[in-house]
Chains A and B, each alone.
Chain A
Amino acid sequence: MKVLIIVPAHNEEKNLPTLIPKIEAMGWDCLVINDASTDHTGDVLDEMGVPHLDLTNNVGLAGVTRMGFMYAWENGYDCAMVVDGDGQHPPKYIKLLIDKIEEGYDYVIGSRFVNKPKDRSLRMIGSRLICAAIKLKTGKTVTDPTSGMRALGKSVLEDFSESMNFIAEPDALTHVIHSGHKFTEVQVEMVERTAGVSYFSNVFRSAYFMFDVLMSILFMQ
């Protein structure tokens, strides 16, 4: 099975030198997509000699993953997996997800909450709301809809390379379930961000994101 590991990276000059060798050691192809970083990410990638795309304009995480899926589909890969360039997805879990694709699943998510409870923070209340919306729409139970760590089989890859009219991960997941692809979750741990500021530290931005995602899940997928 031909597997491509897609690593979206935006200003990750510090994280990539430790992350990429670990991924490459596993023997799968790796493609780093440098989303118009303003630091030395591009130079670091050239130095390491890892296959990468340098984007001219910043297109955001959704746009970058879309490009990764298009690349994987055009180059005949059977499976594509997303591993964030900021190091929050530990490489040791990559194989677990890819094994599930090999078993015949079309879409596998690395979930933090398959057998671990969610805490009661504001962010997890948002996560619960999204889970409830997905349950309402598709009737399926999911535990970690916002997880960006996912592996795609060939059928979903074809689907996504044609069109990806999604806000983010949760409505993409809804679309996958709704169109009848085989989906499962795998328990993983994620590393909390140590440096930088999260996109969701702004309350208004989070509320706006929640509104968009819920609208998309309920009415448009």
Chain B
Amino acid sequence: MTQKTRDDQTLKWVGTRPIRPDGVEKVTGRARYGADFARPDMLWAKVLRSPHAHARIRSIDVREALALDGVKAIVTGDDLPEIASEQAFVGEEPTDYRMMSQNVLARGKVGYVGHAIAAVAATTSAVAEEALGLIEVDYEILPHVLDAVSAIAPDAPLVHDDLCDRKGEKKAPSNIANEVEMGHGDPEAAFASADFVIDRSFTTQAVHQGYIEPHACLAEAGPDGQVTIWCSSQGQFMIRGYTAKLLGLDLAQVRVVPAEIGGGFGGKTTVYLEPLAVALSQRSGRPVKMVMSREEVFRATGPASASRIRVKIGATRAGNFVAGEAWLDYEAGAFPGSSVAAGSMTIFAPYAFEHARSHGRDILVNKPKSAAYRAPGAPMAAFAVESVVDDLARQLEIDPIDLRLQNAAQEGVQSSFGPRYKRIGFVETLEAAQAHPHYDAPLKANQGRGVAAGMWFNAGLQSSAAVMVNADGSISVISGNPDIGGSRASLAMMAAEEFGIAYEKVGVRIGDTASVGYNDVTGGSRVTLATGKMVVEASRQVIAQLCERAAKVWDVDVERVQWADGKATVPDDDTIKPLGLAEIATGAGRTGGPIQASASGSVRGVGMSFAVHLCDVEVDPETGKVDVIRYTAFQDAGRAIHPSYVEGQIQGGAVQGIGWALNEAYVFDESGRLENPGFLDYRMPVASDLPMIDAVIIEVANPDHPYGVRGVGEAPIVPPIPAVANAVRAATGVRFSDLPLSPPRVLDALDPAS
């Protein structure tokens, strides 16, 4: 099919704001999420978790627990197959199946407080809970490391006894699980030619994705070996793949039925419960349900990495960036695989540098394994680099947006992470921010304005979609991606646009793993872009078939038939009455049978997204409290299929980033136990904390997508941390280099006398 981008004039649906197909179910509470499934005779399972940050497991005695009335099965690490080391990259972060299996159920050692040790299935959750208390684990407590600096000290305890750098360059085991390096030119030499060099270090704390829905699943293993899993995740195919791999099952034996998802933000791109539920179901012969508590979600599911980042940028007096170099250390948690590579790739991405280099290290510590979180790795990197750019603008006395425009990446520029940029909209986004009334609005005492930019790659990956013509002329679309941000609506709108029919005539369903071709996860801001492309492709195949059927009815050459406005016509003969979609569909049995098509592919032509945020804060000089009082987020969406859901993504990303900047942080005690495993003391913003986030969509079409789409979900979390920090700098004169900007930290910096 030709992949031309349609122009605005011919569009009926794209760019409008119809009601989302899943909206009524969700607002009336009827939608079924992960914990809403049940089967007759179902058991409930609970997980025994480590109270120690680092310990060897000498033995686990489950006899007493098994003897408890109502207990039907128990699994420990010994019950899962040993798996060879094998790299996977199905979600957004690199992972190793062997490590994933050890994270799901500890073998030999526990690596963090909350690490799963055993799972018990019983007739009620109270019995399962009681049984956990009867399992005896004999631990040999080991010294632990809780931060990246201690972890790389020469005498640091080893999180893994035998883990060397993947590149194999180090002979001795260490807590540095991986190192990456990228860039071009010779920054070290180039700094000498700069008039100004700023070199500064930053730290950020581990933060959780904070999805409202805890992990939950129901699994049923039949006597024939067939397995069905109902669960909420960012990818039913990911759950199937990981569960089958960890349990040694064939993919064809496992069917995963996707539930609605109550938030994922990258954190639901891996498995925690599903392999345990399946293993318990296999042993008990009964369906097994598992639901995490909020405390378990905090203790045992992936946060975004804590980080330490040093950034050095050199510029000429005229404001040209000469060279940039960055050193990034990200905490992986107890297993390798932080987002440091993506952080290293994005850190200088918005700018054209002649000389740029970044060095990233993935560092093991005795904390929960980190997981992807919305633009994984990029927000912390942006905090560092955009703070330094802000300082440069001050030092050079150049408007911060002018300075960014002067150095902005654009088409043809060599990116710091390798490829040359295609058509991108960074300059347009910066210009829109500069022209917006917010940028010049007056400020009062104790108030300040910050600006920051950010970039995210967006992903293509593998997608499939099926498009079917129903006998009444309505269209059914099956997608294989859980709908997190309104993708049902955008897929239906693109299909309606292709067929030239009403949006309401298109029904979009999310298929299980047995009813649609393979799809990678809903992640990387890819679904509207990539699965959308497959929907368009399948729709065009169906339209070709519809034209053939009409040609058959009319007995004309198919070349003469055209499709427009939901009808087949013969433009060169007005005596032939057009045939509508419903007429062709009703008669399909006589012209060749059902009409449907599916499309699958590895989608290329991803359009990168750039975002620029303006943030106004007011700082209370006596309490250190920072209030965000105005916020405007600008972003190149390529084309917004459904602008409300693009705005929703922009607002959501901005809010999560603001929370990360101001108050969110994991607090560990000295023994490595998380002290704030709940929303009371893990302080995400509440609605009343924030002003309306104004979202301004810029549309620089992605030339490689039929409707010009770029991904939109992740770029908006990249600029908020530095936007807030730069605003606080403007309001107080103090440059904050460590997160979070909580009241005690801010007050201490404003007036250290206390």
A-B interaction: no
Interface residues of A (CB under 8 A from B): none
- B-side residues, CB < 8 A to A, are none
